[in-house]
Chain A
Amino acid sequence: MQNRHHALGFSDQDVLNMYEIMLETRRFDERLWLLNRSGKIPFVVSGQGQEAAQVGAAFALNKEKDYVAPYYRDYGFVLAWGMTLREMMLNNFAKAEDPNSAGRQMPGHFSYRKLRMLTHSSPVTTQNPHAVGVALAAKLKGDDIVSFVTFGEGSSNQGDFHEACNFAGVHKLPVIFLCENNHYAISVGLKHQLSCEHVSDRAKGYGMFGKTFDGNDPLAAYAAVKEAADRAHRGEGPSLLEANFYRLTPHTSDDNDMTYRTKAEVDEAKKHDGVLTFAAYLRELNILTADKEKEMEERIKKEIDDATDYAEKAPFADQDSVLRYVYEERD
């Protein structure tokens, strides 16, 4: 197997770190389903199958400066960006200490001002114009940053997708639009959502750079997002990227995907699962050894156990707090 990460400037340890975050995300996600099925948390919205592109993308951005607007399947992205497992678990248990919304929003509705992570809602793609506004504001202030936003392929049919892309294109703003194309918008497959071959084909209509890449490969994701970020910093405007992968779980814990797709189709997709294929790549190059893997799995399990334990015991927000923060509160 050919080493592909050295050419991107990554050391062996870098890619091992990358893999570890992917694996951590997967194990966390699997734990959420267990917690849901055992009645501990009411709802799961999952990102399984999308970790590779999410983590690769995060590595291509500046964690000290850039603004990000991740969507609800982006556990891999937010973990790589700096949210802790404990915080992610507090979010899923909807506890007061959850930095995303203190239990006000459903899980996966990420928000963390300290990390320059915008808050987002459930009507999809509303975050795209916000990301454009961040880029416009940064340009007005002369700040050299990139504004990064993700969304699904179903969402790419929304008016806000179009309006945001067009605005960013016209004003040549430093925005990276990353479409996470997992081939399903709840039950409706890709061919009933889009009639063009790639979501990124739409870039041309907005006068921006477009590129589709293998979303199961974190290195491909890194390369694409890095290219888009470099373009943005050079003043060449926005990019529309598309990660291609497959949603390995039902839409949410309330969905039954066997009503609209087959087990054979899901099993076939699992062969291309980025967590598995990237592990295989690292094993081939002898970077991921059996010992390291074991050590990694044990550490991750312990951290998830600790996070779960902490979040489960943590208090909910006080009931009277429902009236707080409707408007600015002044002493």
Chain B
Amino acid sequence: MAVISYIEAVTQALKEEMERDEDVFVMGEDVGKRGGVFQATKGLYEEFGEKRVIDTPLAESAIVGVGIGAAMYGLRPVAEMQFSDFMLPAANQIISEAAKTRYRSNNDWTVPLTIRAPYGGGVHGGLYHSQSMEAIFANVPGLKIVMPSTPYDVKGLLKASIRSNDPVIFFEHKRAYRLIKGEVPEGDYTLPIGKADIKREGNDVTVISYGLAVHFALQAAEKLAESGISTHILDLRTVYPLDREAVVNAAKKTGKVLLVTEDNKEGSVMSEVAATIAENCLFDLDAPIRRLAAPDAPSMPYAAPLEKQFLLSSEKLEQAIRDLAEY
């Protein structure tokens, strides 16, 4: 099996889906000749032409809104938000329109639209190229929010998103793009949206996370194993709707749960995970639920030491897991 990067998995999924189904097309800012500012759509313009790889005007609400219209016509658009931080002008189209179209038309109209958006910090992006935006959309029934951690999951879940008959927001961690590599089958496969995945089996402490933080957890778990601490790691993969069964099972497995997100702590996806555990696992817990997240400051600063202060790391996770193990 070939080892490819996280972003190569994005490109491969797009390419394969466009080859497989002529109704799939890509649209967004700089996705054409430039191949995307991160190169996620590299080579697609050359292979599929300007009709199916569309450089749009710089206007996020139109990128999503036009995508919705094309999806209602029966196509499968993949709309790129250049940075998830720039999604907010499109929030009304996502929340009021894409998410509610099936419901409000009583199943008459559907929006098979995928919205790809790079998120996350650690790339010296400052306040507006670093944010995690999932919590804004993670209480909107009608949407699905996918946030994969590995190249294998990226490819399988992006393909599933494009084939989904409901709107999907597909958040890609931009620091993972080139940092994370992994084995990915060359052929076609999909992974189920809405299903979490156990990334490491363990008995002492459960870590529930998603995105790049999953890798910090895996690194921390390796270290902790040397001290005899066994870590169980659940990767949510889809943060909305949550795989509540997997969350409850993972919490019960060890009775000690650390919830990790790069997003601001208050009202994050992990707040809902914590509530789910609290509702279902009262007599199974051996310690209070703990959360490790970004501080409740607006967003991560540009200056390197300030950014580092804001970000998660394997060291921070290792400490938090150790504390919980010793509780």
Question: Which residues of A does B touch, CB under 8 Å?
Answer: 67, 99-102, 104-105, 109, 111-113, 118-119, 121, 123, 126, 128-138, 140-141, 147, 159-160, 163-164, 166-167, 170, 324-329
Contact with A along B205-244 (1 / 0, CB 8 A): 0000000000000000000000000000000000000000
Q: Which residue of B lies closest to A326 (CB)?
A: B141
B69 pairs with A137, CB closer than 8 A: yes
Q: List 15 A-B contacts (CB under 8 A).
A: A104-B106, A111-B105, A126-B93, A129-B64, A129-B65, A130-B65, A132-B65, A133-B66, A133-B67, A133-B71, A137-B74, A141-B75, A159-B89, A167-B57, A329-B107
Asked whether any CB of chain A lies closer than 8 Å to the CB of B92, the reply is yes
Q: How far is the CB of B150 from chain A (nearest CB, A)?
A: 25
B104 pairs with A105, CB closer than 8 A: yes
Contact with A along B141-161 (1 / 0, CB 8 A): 110100000000000000000
Q: How far is the CB of B248 from chain A (nearest CB, A)?
A: 21
Residues in A with CB closer than 8 Å to B51 are: 140
Q: How far is the CB of A259 from chain B (nearest CB, A)?
A: 29
Cα distance A101–B109 when bound, in Å? Answer: 10
Residues in B with CB closer than 8 Å to A105 are: 104
Contact with A along B40-59 (1 / 0, CB 8 A): 00000000000110101101
Instruction: Using known A-B contacts A129-B68, A137-B74, A328-B110, determine if residue A166 contacts B62 with beta carbons closer than 8 Å.
Output: yes
Contact with A along B73-93 (1 / 0, CB 8 A): 111010000000000010011
Q: A104-B104, A113-B109 are in contact. List 10 more A-B contacts (CB 8 A).
A: A121-B97, A121-B104, A128-B65, A129-B61, A129-B65, A134-B72, A134-B73, A137-B69, A167-B59, A325-B102
Residues in A with CB closer than 8 Å to B97 are: 121, 126, 130
B89 pairs with A119, CB closer than 8 A: no
Residues in B with CB closer than 8 Å to A119 are: 101, 104-105, 108-109
Residues in B with CB closer than 8 Å to A141 are: 73, 75
Cα distance A130–B77 when bound, in Å? Answer: 13
Cα distance A273–B9 when bound, in Å? Answer: 61
Residues in B with CB closer than 8 Å to A164 are: 62, 65-66
Q: How far is the CB of A157 from chain B (nearest CB, A)?
A: 14
Residues in A with CB closer than 8 Å to B93 are: 126, 129, 160
A130 pairs with B52, CB closer than 8 A: no
A138 pairs with B73, CB closer than 8 A: yes
Residues in A with CB closer than 8 Å to B166 are: 327-328
Asked whether any CB of chain A lies closer than 8 Å to the CB of B256, the reply is no
Asked whether any CB of chain A lies closer than 8 Å to the CB of B25, the reply is yes
Asked whether any CB of chain A lies closer than 8 Å to the CB of B100, the reply is yes
